[in-house]
Amino acid sequence: MPAEVKILIKGFTNYDSVGEAGAEKTQPTITLVRDGDLVMVVDPGILESQQVLVDALQSEGLTPDDVNVVCVTHSHLDHYRNIGMFPEAKVLEYFGLWDKNTVETWREDFTKNIKILHTPGHDYTGITLFVNTDEGRVAICGDVFWKENYPRAAKDDAYASNPGRLEESRKTILEMADWVIPGHGPMYKNNRTGAIAEDVPKQKGAEIAVICKKCGRGMKQKDKCFCRPYLCFNCCECGLDCDLCYCSHQKKK
């Protein structure tokens, strides 16, 4: 069965309308993901009152104790302030999957219906959840996009740590997702125009079977990163100490 995604609390930001002398006010979009036994809250963030989130969970027949995983899309306070509301839940974030004081590396295929990818640029700790639902694939991406098509360009993100990487992350999301849940707004439909790897049919006798999800170039089998076959070796994120992948070594040639 596909997973279920529900926005518990719709986020907002007045950054695009407040004057220089005004006070910035913000709240993240807080999302509920259910997949089998998994009950996940994404970006519990900052709120006027924690009771707002308690009430939102109650409307779904849940209490904070029913949540077994909390996901933080990136390490900005407005997205993780209320993580302490879920003391028994595991925490999924850039550096690993935490269970109290124990941490392990998360798998990219987190469940059958949930894929996790690094999507840096707004912040280097950025991750995006790609969730398969009955309505299509939903990308819960934190502040890779704040709201629908805002900031309009990666270079316009005043808080971006690396606009170039942010542009790459945006491209990945727009190529992979049918729906986008941004960091501070409602979910919106993504009218995809770019091909994604699993959507490109293999043609008889053709060497190019897939498209790199970062640079958009066609890849032959020998061009694919072994660890991340949706990337070419030029876009590979593996380090020189990777035991499986030769891409970083090949780049040094």
Predicted model pTM = 0.76
Amino acid 198: pLDDT: 37
- Domain ranges in the chain are 4-189
pLDDT tens for 173-210 read: 999 999 999 999 999 999 864 433 333 333 334 344 45
**CB-neighbour burial class of residue 188 (10 A; exposed 0-12, middle 13-18, buried 19+):** middle
Locus of tokens 């049919």: 201
pLDDT digits (tens, 9 = 90+) for 217-227: 666 656 767 66
Does the N-terminal peptide bond of residue 151 adopt cis geometry, omega within 30 degrees of 0? yes
Fold classified for 4-189: Metallo-beta-lactamase; Chain A (3.60.15)
Quick: pLDDT tens for 116-144: 999 999 999 999 999 999 999 999 999 99
DSSP 105-174: PPPSB-SSSEEEEE--SSSTT-EEEEEEETTEEEEE-GGGSSBTTBSSSGGG-TT-S-HHHHHHHHHHHH
Residue 185's identity, in one-letter code, is G
- Overall average pLDDT of the 223-242 stretch: 68
Query: What is d(CA 180, CA 217) in angstroms, rounded to the nearest whole number?
Result: 24
Cα 158 to Cα 19, 122, 153, 155, 184: the distances in Å are 15, 9, 11, 8, 15
